[in-house]
Amino acid sequence: MTIIDKTFMIASAALKHSPITQSKLKLIPNFISQKEEEQILNESEKKLKRLKYQRDHWDDAIVGYREFESANWSEQTLAVIERVKREAHFSNSPRQLVHVLDIDAAGFIKPHIDSNRYCGDKVAGVSLLSDSVMRLVNQSDSSKYITLLLPRLSLYVLAHEFRYDYTHEILSDEMSFFGDEYVKRDRRVSMVCRSEPSPLSK
């Protein structure tokens, strides 16, 4: 079941009269099973264990991370990836390389918008190992913001203005509040699929 309501999202008063539809922003709790999570993590760890956590990022967007991209996955994980792509309804072809991002318990993702050179009109991510809090803030008007609770095993999809006009970030553990409720952040791994960028943006 797809759920976008006050249980998983807090929108600012400035957005109360702006329709937020599932074509723009989607959150599906329990999108994958714990068994599927274990399968994805087992495959990912084979690559991640050779990498060290980094405290800075090439575009200053992430702190405390390891990452890789791959098109080579088991049949079981490919089935999950195909479900993600179907749910996201990519208008451009989805990229064949799937991005795995591992953020340690003290790490976080700073506010940013993915470059048009590397990503098309949609981003879809599955959250593994830990609940976390995502914040979306309008670049032109910071009074327009949305706070999303991303439960472990959930899928989020960002599209349209939430892809191009809003920054997105994953809050650090000390800032990880959903409303007044503290959401404990531990090590978080995400499996992210993106649509291909427009040829004009390359």
In this prediction, residues 73-96 reach a mean pLDDT of 87
**At which residue do the structure tokens 């991370």 appear?**
65
pLDDT of residue 172: 95
Residues 6+ apart with CB under 8 A from 137: 111, 144, 145, 166, 167
What pLDDT is stored for residue 115 in this prediction?
76
Domain segments of the chain as ranges: 9-201
Q: Which of 31, 187, 44, 172 is nearest to 104 (CA)?
A: 187
pLDDT (0 to 100) of residue 49: 94
CATH number belonging to domain 9-201? 2.60.120.590
User: Measured at the alpha carbon of residue 34, what is the angle toward residues 29 and 35, in degrees to the nearest 5?
Assistant: 135
For position 121, what pLDDT does the model report?
84
Looking at the predicted structure, is the pLDDT value of residue 130 above 80? yes
Phi/psi region, residue 67 (left: phi>0; alpha: psi -120 to 50; beta: rest), is beta
Predicted pLDDT of residue 100: 97
| Predicted TM-score (pTM) of this structure | 0.90
In the prediction, which pLDDT does 36 show? 98
> Which one has a higher pLDDT value, 151 or 8?
151
Q: Which amino acid is at 58?
A: W
How far apart (Å, rounded) are the C-alpha atoms in residues 191 and 155? Answer: 9
DSSP string, 33-63: -HHHHHHHHHHHHHHHTTS--BSS-TTS-EE
Instruction: Please tell me which residue, 107 or 22, carries the higher pLDDT value.
Output: 107
| pLDDT for the residue 57 | 65
Read off the pLDDT of residues 132-173 as tens digits, 9 standing for 90 and up. 999 999 999 999 999 999 999 999 999 989 999 999 999 999
